[in-house]
Amino acid sequence: MDLGIRGKKAIVCASSRGLGRGCATALAEAGCDLVVNGRDAAILAKTAEEFRSRFGVTVTEVVGDVSTPDIQEALLKACPAPDILVNNNGGPPLRDFRELTRDNMLEGVTQNMITPIELIKAVIDTMAEKEFGRIVNITSLSVYQPIPGLDLSSGARAGLTAFLAGVARTVAAKNVTINNILPGKFDTDRIRTTIRFSAEKSGESEEAAAHKAAQVIPAKRLGSAEEFGKACAFLCSSHAGYITGQNLVLDGGLYTSAF
Ligand SMILES: NC(=O)c1ccc[n+]([C@@H]2O[C@H](COP(=O)([O-])OP(=O)(O)OC[C@H]3O[C@@H](n4cnc5c(N)ncnc54)[C@H](OP(=O)(O)O)[C@@H]3O)[C@@H](O)[C@H]2O)c1
């Protein structure tokens, strides 16, 4: 399907690896020019070069922590009027909530709630003026289904979801949409770290631990960043203008619910 976004400009935050990279790949394949971001300059440069050579699109790299005002400014300088914004970031590490300091909590809320809101504030009016805008936030299945130890991440992302539910309705008439994608378990570096950790603890191989993790998922496998990216690109497409304020769960059936 032609997604109808060839030549559109997209900022994809935290996109040198993993799910963000999956989104950037699918948008580049659809013909979007990209601003990509990550803290490791070498990995980001390699990713950007791959997009240029595979898809022939223009790719600008912005190296640094997307949660900081400087890097947000650099992203917007590289692309002052994006048609598409994909908000992504790292998340707080697994930690018992009793151990969280006030600074930890402020950092978590900054990463997973304030940062996307700041970027949306900066781009939404121009999107509305142009009568085209697509904003996708990568959140987590933990917004629906708590994961002990990821309470800060879940809380900040749930806050973002509620905050944007109202905002989405204020720009819907201008063909600007805001949606969230909630990943379950995707095979990225982040999930591999968790799998390696449990493999070390139980003394089994990494592959055995990965297999075990997949068995609790009705699809019996981890998701791939590629399929995640394609769903994101559809939400960013010209065909998705009537989908807004939604939470798309991508989890192979892991979240058990009829509605
Ligand atoms: N994978 C899953 O199954 C899953 C499930 C639920 C939720 N999530 C959430 O989805 C998001 C992406 O996860 P992932 O699995 O793709 O992680 P990942 O494989 O670790 O990739 C994270 C990407 O974000 C970049 N990044 C991290 N912190 C950043 C920062 N402060 N500023 C700029 N770039 C940053 C990383 O590059 P650098 O390290 O070079 O900065 C990398 O490109 C995370 O918030 C995660 O909590 C993932």
pTM above 0.85, yes or no: yes
Place of tokens 């002990």: 148
Exposure of 165 in the CB half-sphere (CA atoms within 13 A)? 8
CB atoms within 10 A of CB 106: 11
Which parts of the chain fold into alpha helices (H)? 18-29, 41-55, 69-78, 102-109, 115-130, 151-171, 189-202, 206-215, 225-235
Confidence of residue 9 (pLDDT cuts 50, 70, 90): very high
The pick from 190, 193, 250 for probing ligand 1's pocket by mutation, whose C-beta has the most ligand atoms within 8 angstroms, reads 190
pLDDT by residue (tens digit) across 106-136?
999 999 999 999 999 999 999 999 999 999 9
Average pLDDT score, the chain: 97
The pick from 89, 182, 189 for probing ligand 1's pocket by mutation, whose C-beta has the most ligand atoms within 8 angstroms, reads 89
Contact by Cβ (8 Å): 248, 231: yes
Phi/psi for 185 (5° steps) reads -125, 110
Residue 153 contacts by C-beta under 8 Å, 6 or more apart in sequence?
Answer: 91, 92, 108, 112, 140, 142
Query: Does ligand 1 lie within 6 Å of residue 88's CB atom?
Result: yes
DSSP symbols for 127-170: HHHHT-EEEEEE--GGGTS--TT-HHHHHHHHHHHHHHHHHHHH
In a domain, 134, yes or no: yes
Examine the domain organization and report whether 160 and 104 are in the same domain.
yes
Domain count, the chain: 2
Q: Give the whole-angstrom CA distance, residue 142 versus residue 148.
A: 9
Instruction: Check residue 78 and give its pLDDT.
Output: 98
Contact by Cβ (8 Å): 87, 119: yes
Query: Does ligand 1 lie within 6 Å of residue 65's CB atom?
Result: yes
**Can you give the CATH number for the domain in which 240 is found?**
3.40.50.720
**What letter represents residue 83's amino acid?**
D
Give the distance (Å) from ligand 1 centre to CA of residue 190: 7
Examine the domain organization and report whether 102 and 208 are in the same domain.
no
Examine the domain organization and report whether 150 and 139 are in the same domain.
yes
Confidence of residue 92 (pLDDT cuts 50, 70, 90): confident
**Burial of 144: CB neighbours in 10 Å, binned 0-12, 13-18, 19+:** middle
Instruction: Check residue 97 and give its pLDDT.
Output: 96
In a domain, 217, yes or no: yes
Examine the domain organization and report whether 111 and 204 are in the same domain.
no
- Which atom of ligand 1 lies closest to the CA of 18? 16
Contact by Cβ (8 Å): 130, 80: no
Which parts of 33-114 fold into alpha helices (H)? 41-55, 69-78, 102-109
- Domain encompassing residue 94: 9-186+224-250
Examine the domain organization and report whether 199 and 96 are in the same domain.
no
Window from 85-94, 214-223, 227-236 with minimum mean pLDDT: 85-94
Q: Give the whole-angstrom CA distance, residue 66 versus residue 126.
A: 21
